[in-house]
């Protein structure tokens, strides 16, 4: 049996030596050398050579996934532990790491999972959903930086947007602080200038009343920084506002792309039939679970992957049950939001959450995590029916989950 290990790098890669060794470049010619090397040693559609590499994405992985060849993405931390089995001197090299990866498949391939056989559409949805999630996190991070800066010299701006949903991320908020980068300038804004800023931001209703409210806040009694310091802080704020505008635009554009692409998937109807899942969350869950219904052997595997089930650590007479720290962070985050929205969207989910709080004494986070654990069980049950050739029970899932 032939196994292949590839030590990934930005420029070049080393393939492990059991019967062959090559140093390949990260371009089309390098990929061709790699595929020719595999073919030379017996790689075919009927008998593909398994490949181990330390990354699950990129062009090199896309090339390797052509055909029926199984590709194993080995966690770098796991590869580092295997390295100590072959050399206790802690030496490290590209060819040596490639050999370690090949030996991982030779000895413990059964303990590692190959990359799932998701469809191209599912992988495209995963790209968009993850990018949208990253853009949302980035937007919130910049908004938090802007809020922290405004507290130093411009508290009236925070009071002005306190009653608005999404606060500083709203177009009206960004347009106002651009019109008056400092509190001294904001205090001089006229009613007409505030109304013009609101219209530029796209507001259409209640402009006159909102302009009066904002004008009173900006002219309130607030402490001020020295003029030179205030002007400098205003320039720093404008730079953050520019970044926030770009982050908001990126998040909105990617959200639209997700809403256009996700409904095209055959499993979208099923995902949306679960209480509490909308287009964005449904796409996020599908992106991490994938549409390869054979990926998880049972519900327990999916729960461990999503970190919705606890983990037991036992040694002798001591044992402890704690939450999982090694997990798919994106799926875990989507699951938290899913469970939170399901509590109000589904009477069954609300009853299950209430039982965990009242009968078991769980705190909110623990009860919500247990609810997500149950949701993972239902998702796996639907996948099992699909794997058996049955149509996923869309109508049965609409508010009828057996909690």
Q: 64 and 10, same structural domain?
A: yes
d(CA 36, CA 14) in angstroms, rounded, equals: 15
Q: 127 and 256, same structural domain?
A: yes
Domain boundary among 85, 115, 145: 115
Q: 159 and 200, same structural domain?
A: yes
- Alpha carbon of 398 to those of 67, 302, 341: distances in Å? 38, 22, 15
Q: 186 and 83, same structural domain?
A: no
CATH number, domain containing residue 33: 3.30.420
171-179 vs 191-200: helix crossing angle, rounded to 10: 140
In a domain, 402, yes or no: no
d(CA 209, CA 189) in angstroms, rounded, equals: 15
pTM, rounded to two decimals: 0.82
d(CA 213, CA 400) in angstroms, rounded, equals: 47
Q: 287 and 169, same structural domain?
A: no
Q: 82 and 35, same structural domain?
A: yes
In a domain, 278, yes or no: yes
In a domain, 403, yes or no: no
User: Each residue's pLDDT tens digit in the chain (403 positions)?
Assistant: 788 888 866 555 555 555 677 787 777 888 888 888 888 888 888 889 899 998 888 888 888 888 788 999 998 888 888 887 766 777 777 778 888 888 888 888 988 889 888 899 999 999 999 999 999 999 999 999 999 999 999 999 999 999 998 899 999 999 999 999 999 999 999 999 999 999 999 999 999 999 999 999 999 999 999 999 999 999 999 999 999 999 999 999 999 999 999 999 998 988 898 889 999 999 999 999 998 888 888 888 899 889 888 888 888 888 888 878 888 899 999 999 999 999 988 898 999 999 999 999 999 988 999 999 998 888 888 777 766 555 544 434 444 444 4
Q: How many CA atoms lie within 13 A of 122 on its CB side?
A: 17
d(CA 388, CA 154) in angstroms, rounded, equals: 61
Question: Side by side, which strands form the sheet with 12-15?
Answer: 22-25, 12-15, 4-7, 51-53, 71-73
Q: 292 and 176, same structural domain?
A: no
Q: 89 and 34, same structural domain?
A: yes
**Phi and psi dihedrals of 393, rounded to 5?**
-75, 75
- Structure tokens that stand for 312 in this block: 């037991």
**114 within 8 A of 50, measured Cβ to Cβ:** yes
Q: 272 and 250, same structural domain?
A: no
Q: 296 and 280, same structural domain?
A: yes
Q: How many domains does the chain have?
A: 3
Give the 3-state secondary structure of residue 52.
strand
In a domain, 231, yes or no: yes
Find residue 320's DSSP bridge partners.
Answer: 313
**203 within 8 A of 274, measured Cβ to Cβ:** no
Q: 320 and 275, same structural domain?
A: yes
Q: 254 and 127, same structural domain?
A: yes
Q: CA geometry: angle at 366 spanning 378 and 274, to 5°?
A: 25
Query: What DSSP character marks residue 390?
Result: P
pLDDT for res 390: 53
Residues of the domain holding 153: 123-260
Q: Determine the longest span between alpha carbons in the chain, in angstroms.
A: 80
**120 within 8 A of 257, measured Cβ to Cβ:** no
pLDDT for res 13: 58
In a domain, 185, yes or no: yes
């Amino acid at each position: 049996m032939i196994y292949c290990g590839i030590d990934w790098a930005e420029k070049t890669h080393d393939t492990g030596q059991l019967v062959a060794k090559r140093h390949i470049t990260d371009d089309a010619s390098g990929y061709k050398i790699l595929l020719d090397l595999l073919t030379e040693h017996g790689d075919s559609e009927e008998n593909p050579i398994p490949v181990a590499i330390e990354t699950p994405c990129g062009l090199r992985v896309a090339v390797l996934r052509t055909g029926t060849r199984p590709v194993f993405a080995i966690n770098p931390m796991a590869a580092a532990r295997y390295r100590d089995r072959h050399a206790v001197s802690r030496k490290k090299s590209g060819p040596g790491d490639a050999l370690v990866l090949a030996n991982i498949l030779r000895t413990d391939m059964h303990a590692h999972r190959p990359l799932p056989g998701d469809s191209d559409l599912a992988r495209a949805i995963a790209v968009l959903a993850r990018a949208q999630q990253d853009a949302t996190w980035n937007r919130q991070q910049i908004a938090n930086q802007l809020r922290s800066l405004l507290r130093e010299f411009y508290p009236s701006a925070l009071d002005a947007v306190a009653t608005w949903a999404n606060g500083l991320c709203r177009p009206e908020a960004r347009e106002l602080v651009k019109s008056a980068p400092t509190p001294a300038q904001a205090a001089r804004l006229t009613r007409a200038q505030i109304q013009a800023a609101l219209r530029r931001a796209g507001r259409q209703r209640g402009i006159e009343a909102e302009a009066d409210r904002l004008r009173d806040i900006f002219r309130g009694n607030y402490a001020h920084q020295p003029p030179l310091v205030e002007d400098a802080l205003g320039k720093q704020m404008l730079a953050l506002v520019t970044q926030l505008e770009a982050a908001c635009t990126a998040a909105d554009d990617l959200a639209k792309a997700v809403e256009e692409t996700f409904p095209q998937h055959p499993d979208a109807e099923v995902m949306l039939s679960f209480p509490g899942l909308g287009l964005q969350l449904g796409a996020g869950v599908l992106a991490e679970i994938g549409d390869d219904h054979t990926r998880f052997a049972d519900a327990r595997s999916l729960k461990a992957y999503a970190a919705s089930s606890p983990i037991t650590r036992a040694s002798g007479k001591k044992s402890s049950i704690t939450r999982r720290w090694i997990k798919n962070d994106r799926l875990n985050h989507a699951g938290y939001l899913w469970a939170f929205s399901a509590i109000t969207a589904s009477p069954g989910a609300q009853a299950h959450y209430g039982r965990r709080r009242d009968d078991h004494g769980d705190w909110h986070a623990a009860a919500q995590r247990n609810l997500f654990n149950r949701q993972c069980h239902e998702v796996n049950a639907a996948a099992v029916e699909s794997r058996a050739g049955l149509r996923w029970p869309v109508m049965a899932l609409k508010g009828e989950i057996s909690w």
